[in-house]
Amino acid sequence: MRSVAGVNMKNLTSHRNPLVEGHRMCPGCGAPTALRQAFMGIENPVVVVGATGCMEVSTTVYPYSSWRAPFLHVAFENAGAAVSGVEAAYRVMRRRGEFREGIKFVAFGGDGGTYDIGLQSLSGALERGHDFTYICYNNQGYMNTGAQRSSATPRSANATTAPAGRVTPGKLQRAKNLTEIAAAHNIPYVAQTTLHDPADLIGKVKRAVETPGPAFVNILVPCNLFWKIDPADQVKICRLAADSRFWPIYEVANGEYRVSYKPKGQTPVEEFLRAQGRYAHLFKKGSERRDLIEQAQSEVDADWEKLLAR
Amino acid sequence: MSGGGLCWQDVLPGTVTLGASSQSVETGLWRSVRPVLDAGKCVSCLRCWAQCPDASILTGDGGSVLGINMFFCKGCGICAQICPVGAISIRPESDFQGEAVSSGRGVGPLKVGELVG
Amino acid sequence: MAFAEAMRQINPDVVAAYPITPSTEIPMKFAEYVADGLVDTEYITVESEHSAITACVGASVAGARVMTASSANGVGLMHEIFPIAAAFRAPIVFGLVNRSLGAPVNIHCDHSDSMPERDSGWIQIYCEDAQEVYDTALMSVRLAEHPDVLTPVFVCQDGFITSHCYEPVDFLDDEAVTEFVGSREPRYPLLDVDNPVSYGSFVMSEHYFEIKRNQMEGMENALRVCREVSGELARITGRDYPPVERYRTDDAEYVIVIMSSAAGVVKDVADDLRSRGVRAGCLRVRMFRPFPSEEISEALSGVKCAAVLDRSASPGGTPPLAAEVRSALYTSCCAGNRMPSPVQSFIYGLGGRDLYPGDVESVFEGLSRGEHFLAPRYIGLREGTGGEERGGR
């Protein structure tokens, strides 16, 4: 833990994190943890751009800001475009010798602001090659507005706009694979991870930021309210996501795939699902949906094989 | 009419707020349970520090864990759940009645026009 | 092209733009300047107008001098971000080449794209010709970035009519432009990592109102600063641009109020009528936001009758320029001035339909006959014999 993959935790405790205390995220939310860990690996000064969402709202409740670094929020669907403008301004102004050297640019959004409404502006920014890192804190739904389904919501999850009812068992469609979509832009660095191991997350964002050009990091974070879990269990749930291969931990550096975590043993996806209230309807006595649980397992298995073959 | 607060002439232009100003917001008031650190058991592995959503694990030189900042801690219980040596226990806030609710730092109210690094 | 040439000379830090007819020539021409190394600009070729204006906002709050251009549906797509730019006090200068807003799709001029933005918190200036577009682009940099204003500016010109016509334009030397526009001194640049600020907070009812009122102060100061900057440019060029142009209005009995390129037709007709003894005049409104109410009510104070010609409609309401003019006159009356003269509202030129001298003459004739209608009338519209025969009422 103290020194994994070049990350020395002890040295990091003196690091001044751009995201400070006093934000209004729910107790035990994974999003601020993900972003704080992300920033731990960045030694340079940063400028942060956030898409509308829980993190943006809860860190900027007027007249306070939880950002020690400069922070910009424009709207929901355009963090990619906003960071493009800031980064372009920096390039031209640095040529004139203005502002500090070595500023890094980090944009973030939830899955709603990244997979759905913000995908176009993100894609544009990735294609244009701006030097920035985009972090998606992916809690698999629209949490800021009350747990609606997004294109990141997995099949069978109970969401407020895809509820588990008498006829339909939660969301009917699979989640979009945004990490692969990002990789298809042929950008230098793409990764996905979760909160199972801070060293993995810190290391990935560090590589993302230090790689010139655009980088994309997709971080699975639980939303305690939507996922219906005990806030204290957050890390446990993230470990289940990684161990069950539901959320493969890997990176794509300059087109080269590397699986960063190959779980020992075979944790069934069922364990990950069963631990969360959003799948409770699959396990209801008398109307258990073994078919959907098995489908989830077979989809995870197929994705894992595909990933290993890359 | 809204009482208190800033007049329109006094707000900063451009929706601007000052960096790190939420360090004066006492989110510890939300807490219903409280983590208690047993310093004798703690091995300063920093798992709790890395996984705390509210940056409430206080550390000293060399990365040793010193305690928990009750000014910000919301009582989520992650630290206790992941502690490998059982050095953190969770107790109801009612056990601490009479004690000051906050025991950590806040930077105090901020004045407009004053930038915080 | 006049706007693009002004951009080259202004040499902005960042341009983010997306092609749409008829403003496309501006980013296209500017791309050539970038490719030929004539400017130092970072040019962001975004994937939509929404991203164009967003990148402009990002660059502007970062501290850069920023320009862009768009038209019609492009302007419509940007709509969400305009109030944000204004609230951030981002002094973006925007070449808005007016074109009708679909549907139906039409590439020609009317003001239905810029008028919906009149409450977005941007300054709006409507130019009559290419020379004015060029001069206004230069002035707008100074106006937008003035510490008392800090408000983005739309420099509007009529699509194709002004944007694609050939006419002589008197350009300043590059050095004179550099000196005139100076350099931007941003107040809270996002890139100042040593003095970090946050833009775009979540604000509840307890502060929102104060922040919006604070923002409006920039607009309140814009008329004064515009006069100052215009005066300064006039000392170099001899060309002065007051918020309203009074063309033979001083002793006029009948005045047509209009904006942009079609003012030329009205001025010609006024000249012609005056040679026939009719005291006609043209009041060209150049600045629409902030609206120069006092100048307008003062200019119309002695007329017998006025007509306002709008190149856009407000379905179910009064067309935008007519509504503003009537409001200005009413306000003036409340301030103790004499009862306002009747103001007739006309809609003309939607989808690029030309305004002909005969049309204008008819309006003046109507005014001189004392005709007055409560609802707006249309100019140059083919109208049938009436609704009754078609089974209407």
With beta carbons under 8 A apart, name residues in chain B contacting A2: 45-46
Tens of pLDDT, residues B2-54: 456 889 999 999 999 999 999 999 999 999 999 999 999 999 999 999 999 99
Interface test with C, best of B15, B21, B22, B116 (most C CBs within 10 A): B15
Which tokens sit at C137? 């682009």
Residue C108 to residue A6: CA distance in whole angstroms: 61
pLDDT at B5: 81
Fold of A3-309: Rossmann fold (3.40.50)
Q: How far apart are the first and last CA of chain B?
A: 34
Least confident range of A204-208, A209-213, A225-229, C333-337: C333-337
Q: Do B11 and C214 touch (CB under 8 A)?
A: yes
CATH 3.40.1160.10 fits B25-95, yes or no: no
pLDDT at A4 over 70: no
Q: Distance between alpha carbon C337 and the CA centroid of its chain, in Å?
A: 28
pLDDT at C393 over 60: no
Judged on CB neighbours under 10 Å (0-12, 13-18, 19+), A4 is middle
Residue B43 to residue A212: CA distance in whole angstroms: 38
Judged on CB neighbours under 10 Å (0-12, 13-18, 19+), B21 is buried
One-letter identity of residue C362: S
Per-residue burial over A116-139, b = 16 or more CB atoms within 10 Å of its CB, e = otherwise: bbbbbbbbbbbebebbbbbbbbbb
Centre a 10 Å sphere on the Cβ of residue B84 and count the other Cβ atoms it contains: 10
Q: Do A20 and B20 touch (CB under 8 A)?
A: yes
Residue B50 to residue A32: CA distance in whole angstroms: 11
> What value does the mean pLDDT take over residues A18-40?
97
pLDDT at C340: 80
Residue C290 to residue C268: CA distance in whole angstroms: 28
Interface test with C, best of A62, A126, A130 (most C CBs within 10 A): A62
pLDDT at B102: 52
Asked if C215 reaches chain B (Cβ–Cβ under 8 Å), the answer is yes
Band (B110; pLDDT cuts 50, 70, 90): very low
Residue of C nearest to B9 (CA): C214
Per-residue burial over C13-50, b = 16 or more CB atoms within 10 Å of its CB, e = otherwise: bbbbbbbbbbbbbbbeebbebbeeeebebbbbbbbbbb
Residue C256 to residue C344: CA distance in whole angstroms: 9
Domains of chain C: 2-237 (3.40.50.970), 244-378 (3.40.50.920)
pLDDT at A2 over 50: no
Judged on CB neighbours under 10 Å (0-12, 13-18, 19+), C105 is exposed
If you compute the radius of gyration of chain B from its CA atoms, what whole number of angstroms results? 18
pLDDT at B97: 82
With beta carbons under 8 A apart, name residues in chain C contacting B13: 89, 150, 187-188, 214-215, 218
CB of C82 within 8 A of CB of C117?
Answer: yes
ipTM attached to this prediction: 0.96
Domain-by-domain residue ranges, chain A? 3-309
Tens of pLDDT, residues C9-43: 999 999 999 999 999 999 999 999 999 999 999 99
Band (B1; pLDDT cuts 50, 70, 90): very low
More confident site: A165 or B114:
A165
CB of A93 within 8 A of CB of C13?
Answer: yes
Q: Report how far apart, in Å, the C-alpha atoms of C142 and of each of A147, B99, C136, C177, C181 are.
A: 47, 59, 10, 11, 6
Centre a 10 Å sphere on the Cβ of residue C73 and count the other Cβ atoms it contains: 18
| Three-class secondary structure of residue C246 per DSSP | strand
DSSP annotation of B39 reads T
Which tokens sit at A33? 């943890």
With beta carbons under 8 A apart, name residues in chain C contacting A104: none
Residue A62 to residue B16: CA distance in whole angstroms: 9
CB of C111 within 8 A of CB of C150?
Answer: no
With beta carbons under 8 A apart, name residues in chain A contacting B110: 63
Q: Report how far apart, in Å, the C-alpha atoms of A3 and of each of A192, A203, B84 are.
A: 21, 11, 17
Tens of pLDDT, residues C88-130: 999 999 999 999 998 999 999 999 999 999 999 999 999 999 9
Residue A153 to residue A213: CA distance in whole angstroms: 29
pLDDT at A8: 85
CB of A46 within 8 A of CB of A210?
Answer: no
pLDDT at C1: 84
pLDDT at B114: 45
Residue C306 to residue A167: CA distance in whole angstroms: 67
pLDDT at A52 over 90: yes
pLDDT at B104: 52
Tens of pLDDT, residues C51-66: 999 999 999 999 999 9
| Three-class secondary structure of residue A65 per DSSP | coil
Residue A88 to residue A93: CA distance in whole angstroms: 9
> What value does the mean pLDDT take over residues A131-147?
97
Q: Distance between alpha carbon A76 and the CA centroid of its chain, in Å?
A: 16
pLDDT at B109: 44
pLDDT at C339: 80
Q: Do B16 and C198 touch (CB under 8 A)?
A: yes
| Three-class secondary structure of residue C111 per DSSP | coil
pLDDT at B108 over 80: no
> What value does the mean pLDDT take over residues A113-134?
98
Tens of pLDDT, residues C310-362: 999 999 999 999 999 999 999 999 988 888 888 999 999 999 999 999 999 99
CB of C297 within 8 A of CB of C246?
Answer: no
pLDDT at C33: 98
Residue C324 to residue C357: CA distance in whole angstroms: 25
Centre a 10 Å sphere on the Cβ of residue A210 and count the other Cβ atoms it contains: 15
pLDDT at B101: 54
pLDDT at B4: 64
Asked if A3 reaches chain B (Cβ–Cβ under 8 Å), the answer is no
pLDDT at A1: 41
Which residue bears the tokens 């209608």?
C373
> What value does the mean pLDDT take over residues C188-196?
98
Which tokens sit at C46? 């975004």
What secondary structure, in 3-state letters, does B73-112 show? CCCCCHHHHHCCCCCEEEEEHHHHCCCCCCCCCCCCCCCC
Asked if A308 reaches chain C (Cβ–Cβ under 8 Å), the answer is no
Contacting residues for B83 by C-beta, under 8 A, at least 6 apart = B47, B48
Band (C140; pLDDT cuts 50, 70, 90): very high
Cα dihedral across residues A18, A22, A24, A27: positive or negative: positive
With beta carbons under 8 A apart, name residues in chain B contacting C210: 5-8, 10-11
Residue C75 to residue C84: CA distance in whole angstroms: 14
Band (B111; pLDDT cuts 50, 70, 90): very low
> What value does the mean pLDDT take over residues A264-272?
96
Judged on CB neighbours under 10 Å (0-12, 13-18, 19+), A283 is middle
